[in-house]
A and B are shown apart, each in its own frame.
Chain A
Amino acid sequence: MSLLTLENVSRSFGGLNALDAVDMQVSPGEIVGLIGPNGAGKTTLVNVVTGALRPSAGDIRFEGRSIAGKKPHQIGRMGIARTYQVVQPFPEMTVLENVMAPATFAARAEDMRTARLKSMEALEFVGLAGSAGTIAAELTLAGRKRLELAKSLAMNPRVLLLDEVNAGLNTAEIDGALTLIRRIADNGVTVIIIEHLMKVVMTLCSRLVVLHHGAKIAEGTPDEVSRDPHVIEAYLGTRYSRNLGAREAAHD
């Protein structure tokens, strides 16, 4: 039983096909990696699923119901949350208020007190509870990325789409983020992650979907995908696959 289904989804901007008849199925509990070169249509796919963009053609179903063409706030309330590649805090509000917004509106907490409690929980989960009173604009980049995560968690999501949460973070910060994402998935949230770091994708994801020029060119386990000649040509490059082969040979 698939939780999120994309059927023949296309989106074009003028003459450009940013998404071209993409089929995709995500089952509950999966961590799916969405990879592909720049301009492949990954962020467009996230935008189409979350309602920021309407699909030009095709259907998107969430828990069996069509969500294509619904507004972002409706989709958010149904349980699909996202983070942005470029973080989008409410800059003048405190960290706590930032998280209270989704708790109040998307998760529809009964009152401000409940929203505050839920938000503190989310902040503790991502390790930002100590900065609850800080103005969001004053956080470091890593802090703002955590804030994005806390905001999306406060929506009580069933599906979480992460758009390059690790971009711009240093190695230690990336390790922290990975631990967090794993814990989120362990709590039963289905995760779709856009990521350029192959190391992250290979260790985190149970399944990968590869986009190129808006079309899906491959799908499968990280192992299968990294051997796929189309993927190597379009995205990974021959040197990466040779290195991967060499590393595996060394392991054997």
Chain B
Amino acid sequence: MTRIIPIVVVIAVALVACLPLLGDNYLLRLGTMFAMYAVLALSWNIIGGFAGYPSFATAAFFGLGAYTGAILQGAGIPMIVAWTGACVMALVFAVLLGMAILHLKGHYFAIASLVVAEVLLEIATSWTGLTGGGMGLNLPVLQISIEAQARLFFYAMLTIAVLALLMNWLVSRGKVGFALRCIRQNEDASSMVGIDTTFYKVTGFGLSAILVGGAGAIYASWVFYIEPADVFSVLLSVKPIVMAMLGGAGTVLGPVVGALVFIVMEELVWRNFLSFHAAVLGLLIVGLIFFLPNGILGLVRRRRAAGLKPEEEGAA
């Protein structure tokens, strides 16, 4: 089983990468959104899933990345460099922020992280000289065909989505993931067994930001125009959590599965509930907490574990 999964993942990624061949721009846009959601959910998974810290800071990293990318590109810096700069900016910001708020636990941490995006939104709105304020910011238009642009941004998003997946896989197998899982289950005991909890939490928080910053910058280049309320929207913090929980928080593939199910629902169901789709989102969260505490993958795993003896399960 464990040997088949990587092959299935590679095939799935290859199939998604063939999406432009269909020549359907609507599907390609959806594919780009899916890749972006996957980046956000996979990134949140590091701090929220592995470490169990309910971060609502995703929107802050996303917006910061979007503005960093937009401002750098506006200054004439090449797009790829601007995207990289956005990753670095989000990482540095997350490390500093993490050192300030990661000693808070549970609800307190959630609220502190939620406020950050609001503060950045206010700054972006007021600092008209740099960000264009509430009027928003236009990005340089690329001198290539619409189809070529759609393909470019799709592959850019897909690339960092794959990077995010790789990051989750490496973290889950390595020391960082082990430390974060210990911290989630018992933080006091973790420090007693020699885990530098501050270091690993800040590392996890930084990892949960870096690619989100990149996604924000790519998003900005993709839509040509950003405004504070758009890229610092609280929904950008909530949706990744729902996606990760939907698929299975703390697992490598869960957030991707969640992102896929989520975007399908967003397109198929919510189009028919335009006026109250926020209510549907709320109901979905409540339903998740009650019926699927371990997500879709949790359900599959429990089924499988039920058929195994404890020793086999431990070896798997």
Contacts and interface: CB of A to CB of B under 8 A. Distances in A.
Interface residues of A, number: 32
A55 interface: no
A94 B194 CA distance: 19
B185 A72 contact: no
Contacts of B313: 94, 133
B93 interface: no
B314 A76 contact: no
Interface string B165-189: 0000000000100110110011011
B5 interface: no
Contact of A132 (B181, B188, B195, B314): B314
A122 interface: no
Interface stretch (A100-108, A220-228, A231-239): A100-108
Interface in A99-142: 100-102, 104-108, 132-135
Interface in A77-106: 77, 81-82, 84, 88-94, 96, 100-102, 104-106
B99 to A, nearest CB: 15
Contact of A90 (B185, B194, B312, B314): B185
A92 B311 CA distance: 15
- Tell me if B's interface is mostly helix, strand, loop or mixed: helix
Contacts of B306: none
Contact of B185 (A50, A93, A106, A108): A93
Contacts of A155: 193-194
Contacts of A52: 188, 192
Contacts of A82: 192
A105 B189 contact: no
The 3 A-B pairs with the shortest beta carbon distances in the complex, nearest first, are A133-B314, A106-B194, A102-B193
B76 interface: no
B181 A93 contact: yes
A77 B194 contact: yes
A73 B175 CA distance: 15
Interface string A148-163: 0001000100000000
Given A104-B175, A134-B314, A72 B182 contact: no
A88 B314 contact: no
B182 A90 contact: yes
A182 interface: no
Given A88-B186, A90-B186, A102 B314 contact: no
A71 interface: yes
Contact of A101 (B182, B310, B311, B315): B182
Interface in B180-209: 181-182, 185-186, 188-197
Contacts of B193: 76, 101-102, 105-106, 151, 155
Contacts of B189: 84, 88-90
B194 A133 contact: no
Interface string B287-316: 000000000000000000000001111110
Interface in B219-272: none
Nearest to B178: A104
B311 A133 contact: yes
Contacts of A107: 194
B315 to A, nearest CB: 7
Given A102-B194, A106-B193, A134-B314, A88 B188 contact: yes
13 contacts: A71-B196, A72-B192, A73-B195, A76-B193, A88-B186, A88-B188, A88-B192, A90-B181, A104-B175, A104-B178, A105-B175, A132-B314, A135-B310
